[in-house]
Amino acid sequence: MRRPMIAAAAMVFAASGHAAAQDWPTRPITLIVPFAAGGGIDVSARIQAQRMGELLGQSIVIENVGAAAGMAGGARVAKAAPDGYTLLIGNTGTHAFNQSLYKKPLYDAAADFEPVGLVSESPRILIARKDLPADNLPQFIAYLKANEKTAQFGSADVGAAQAKQGAVKAIAVMAEKRVPIIPDVTTTGEQGLPGVEASVWNAFFFPKGTPEPIVRKLNKAMSDTLDDPAIRRRLEDLGLEIVPPERRTPEYLAKYLPAEIERWAKPIHAGGISAD
């Protein structure tokens, strides 16, 4: 008797989930951007949100919650009701770096969210000031070794647009292949350091427990948006590389995320790096 009852309950739950997806969305969706307005992720999120909202028949409202290296916004979504009306755009920082950088992260990136889909990647470009006496990666490494105690660095900026304009010097693209936005800059692999790569990816997440049919419906709207030539062009102008359809699925992101957490944990722990 127990098994038929469980089976019946599962069928009812599945049916209710499909019904919810057919009706969803019936009101605006809030998209949490876990960084300040005006940055690259915010701009790309707004471009996508407008089109996805049109496809879904409801507006997607952006709310910037920028604090704690993106974890404040992530925590907001992790604790939200899993009804499909609170969405997060996360990235390598919010869902991979922070899990190892902080001793007590505000959420479990792999367990507290429902993956919707990977959107894009943005390879990091190693840049330097124009007058730095190094024009390639071997020269740059030699310079750092000779100036170890005085060398300074910064991160997280729009380097490719500045390099194209000559405001800074581009040393290397930290990716497997060159990037279209600045094609003359060679990769780390081409300069003798294969495997030294770093890209920032962006992806959408719902709170854990959001019904699968709703996840699927948003995933389709997301993927259709990325296939729109006009949207694609605007995102690529920001230096983003749109991932192919086979990498946009919830299943792919569910496997990719834990691997990314583990990949970045190794250098963070090895270097004794901590943000606490």
Q: Which of 102-106, 153-157, 210-214 has the lowest mean pLDDT?
A: 153-157
Q: Which two tokens stand for residue 258?
A: 């834990």
Q: Report yes or no: 219 and 130 within 8 Å, Cβ to Cβ.
A: no
How far is Cα 59 from Cα 27, in angstroms, rounded to an integer?
Answer: 8
Q: Which residues have CB under 8 Å from 238's CB, separation 6+?
A: 40, 43, 44
- Domain spans of the chain, in order of start: 2-122+200-270
- Tens of pLDDT along 14-30? 555 566 678 999 999 99
pLDDT at res. 204: 98
How far is Cα 93 from Cα 84, in angstroms, rounded to an integer?
Answer: 23
pLDDT at position 152 over 80? yes
How far is Cα 273 from Cα 276, in angstroms, rounded to an integer?
Answer: 9
pLDDT at position 12 over 80? no
Q: Using alpha carbons, select from 172, 165, 177, 114 the residue that is nearest to residue 141.
A: 172
User: Who wins on pLDDT, 265 or 159?
Assistant: 265
SS3 135: coil
Q: Which residues have CB under 8 Å from 253's CB, separation 6+?
A: 115, 116, 117, 118, 203
How far is Cα 168 from Cα 132, in angstroms, rounded to an integer?
Answer: 9
pLDDT at res. 148: 87
- Tens of pLDDT along 217-258? 999 999 999 999 999 999 998 889 999 999 999 999 999 999
Q: If you average pLDDT over residues 31-58, what whole number do you get?
A: 97
- Tens of pLDDT along 161-194? 855 566 889 999 988 888 887 899 999 999 998 9
The dihedral built from the CA positions of residue 170, 176, 181 and 183, taken in this order, carries a sign that is positive
What is 2-122+200-270's CATH number, 3.30.70.1230, 3.40.190.150, 3.20.20.220, 3.30.420.40?
3.40.190.150
Q: Using alpha carbons, select from 200, 230, 52 the residue that is nearest to residue 123.
A: 200
SS3 242: strand
Q: Using alpha carbons, select from 91, 70, 82 the residue that is nearest to residue 112.
A: 82
| CA distance to 24, 43, 107, 148, per residue, from 95 (Å) | 27, 19, 9, 31
Q: Using alpha carbons, select from 44, 35, 94, 109 the residue that is nearest to residue 65.
A: 35
pLDDT at res. 155: 64
